[in-house]
Structure 1
Amino acid sequence: MSLNSSQWLVRYSRILEIVGDIVKLEVPLNDQGQSRVCFGDLAIIESESYGHLGSFLAQVILLEQSHISLQVFSGTKGLSTHSSIRFLGHSMEAVFSPHILGRIFTGTGAALDHGPSLADEPKVAIDGPTVNPARRVLASKMIRTNVPMIDVFNCLVESQKIPIFSVAGEPYNTLLAQIGAHADADILVFGGIGLTFDDYYAFRGAFDEAGVLAKTVMYIHQGSDPVVEALLIPDMALAVAERFAVEEGKRVLVLLTDMTAYADALKEVGIALEHVPSNRGYIGDLYSQLAKRYERACDYQGAGSVTILSVTTMPGGDVTHPVPDNTGYITEGQFYLHDGVIDPFGSLSRLKQHVIGKETREDHGQIMNTMIRFYAASEEAAQKQAMSFDLSEYDKRLLAFGAQFRERFMDISASMPLEAALDLSWSTLAEYFQPDELLMKQALVDKYLPKKAIAEVENS
Structure 2
Amino acid sequence: RIAMQAEVDLIVLGGMGLKFDDYLFFKDTLEASGAMSRTIMFIHTASDPTVECMLVPDMALAVAERFALDGKKVLVLLTDMTNFADAMKEMAITMDQVPSNRGYPGDLYSSLAARYEKAVDFEGAGSVTILAVTTMPGDDVTHPVPDNTGYITEGQYYLKGGRIEPFGSLSRLKQQVNKDTRDDHRALMDGMIKLYASYKESVEKKSMGFMMTEWDDKLLKYGRLFETKLMDLSVNIPLEQALDLGWEILSQCFEPNETGLKSDLILSRWPKKLND
TM-score (norm 2): 0.95
Amino acid at match of 2:221: A
Corresponding residue number in structure 1 for 2:194: 373
Which of 253, 276, 281 is the equivalent residue of 2:98?
A: 276
Larger of the two Rg values belongs to structure: 1
Count of aligned pairs:
276
- Distance, in Å, in 2 between the alignment partners of 1:279 and 1:370 is 39
Amino acid at match of 2:157: F
Note if 1:357 corresponds to 2:201.
Answer: no
Gaps of 5+ in 2: none
Aligned partner of residue 16 in structure 2, secondary structure: strand
Aligned partner of residue 313 in structure 1, secondary structure: coil
Aligned partner of residue 238 in structure 1, secondary structure: helix
Deviation at 1:192, TM superposition (A): 0.1
Corresponding residue number in structure 2 for 1:241: 64
Deviation at 1:387, TM superposition (A): 2.1
Amino acid at match of 1:298: V
Q: How does 1:280-291 map to 2 (within 5 A)?
A: 280-291=102-113
Note if 1:322 corresponds to 2:144.
Answer: yes
Note if 1:450 corresponds to 2:275.
Answer: no
Deviation at 1:352, TM superposition (A): 3.0
Deviation at 1:300, TM superposition (A): 2.1
Corresponding residue number in structure 1 for 2:133: 311
- Distance, in Å, in 1 between the alignment partners of 2:174 and 2:10 is 22
Maintained 8 Å contact 1:245/1:251 = yes
Note if 1:334 corresponds to 2:134.
Answer: no
Which of 434, 437, 440 is the equivalent residue of 2:255?
A: 434
Q: How does 1:79-158 map to 2 (within 5 A)?
A: none
Deviation at 1:430, TM superposition (A): 0.7
Corresponding residue number in structure 2 for 1:182: 5
Deviation at 1:296, TM superposition (A): 0.5
- Distance, in Å, in 2 between the alignment partners of 1:362 and 1:186 is 29
Corresponding residue number in structure 1 for 2:81: 259
Gaps of 5+ in 1: 1-177, 456-460
Amino acid at match of 1:302: G
Q: Runs of 4 or more off by more than 3 Å in structure 1?
A: none
- Higher share of residues assigned helix: 2
- Distance, in Å, in 2 between the alignment partners of 1:319 and 1:451 is 43
Q: How does 1:190-205 map to 2 (within 5 A)?
A: 190-205=13-28
RMSD (Å), alpha carbons: 1.4
Which of 376, 397, 401 is the equivalent residue of 2:218?
A: 397
Deviation at 1:272, TM superposition (A): 2.1
Aligned partner of residue 385 in structure 1, secondary structure: helix
Q: Which moved more, 1:207-216 or 1:187-196?
A: 207-216
- Distance, in Å, in 2 between the alignment partners of 1:250 and 1:350 is 25
Amino acid at match of 2:34: G
Maintained 8 Å contact 1:182/1:210 = no
Q: More relative contact order in 1 or in 2 (CA 8 Å, sep 6+)? A: 1
- Distance, in Å, in 1 between the alignment partners of 2:147 and 2:245 is 36
Maintained 8 Å contact 1:234/1:293 = yes
Q: Among the aligned pairs, what percent are the same residue?
A: 57
Maintained 8 Å contact 1:435/1:454 = no
CA-to-aligned-CA distance 1:347-391 (integer Å, 9 cap, x gap):
01111322x112212211121111111111111111222222222
CA-to-aligned-CA distance 1:167-199 (integer Å, 9 cap, x gap):
xxxxxxxxxxx1112122222111000111110
